[in-house]
Amino acid sequence: MVFMLPMEFLAPSSDDEELEFSDQIAQLALDPMTAIFEKPADNERQHLKALFVKGRVDGQPITKILIDGGAAINIMPYAVYQKLRKGDQDLTKTDMMLKDFEGNVSPVKGAICVELTIGSKTLPTTFFVISGKGAYNLLVGRDWIHANCCIPSTMHQCLVQWVGDKIEIVPGDSSYVIASAEADTCERTRCISGEIWEKDFLKVADYEMPPIQAVGSDEEF
Residue 110 pLDDT more than 60?
yes
d(CA 167, CA 23) in angstroms, rounded, equals 22
Distance from C-alpha of 12 to C-alpha of 4, rounded to nearest angstrom? 16
What are the phi and psi torsion angles at 102 (to 5°)? -90, 0
Are residues 28 and 161 in contact, defined by beta-carbon separation less than 8 angstroms?
Answer: no
Edge-to-edge strand ranges of the sheet holding 33-38: 2-3, 25-30, 33-38
Q: What pLDDT, on the 0 to 100 scale, is given for residue 7?
A: 41
pLDDT tens profile 129-158: 998 877 899 999 999 999 999 999 988 899
Q: In 3-state terms, what secondary structure has residue 203?
A: coil
Report domain extents, the chain.
2-13+20-45, 51-179
Q: What residue ranges in 58-165 does DSSP mark as E strands?
A: 60-67, 75-77, 97-99, 105-107, 110-118, 121-130, 138-140, 150-153, 158-163
**2.40.70.10, 1.10.3720.10, 3.90.25.10, 3.40.50.300: which CATH number matches 51-179?**
2.40.70.10
What is the model's pLDDT at position 198? Answer: 65
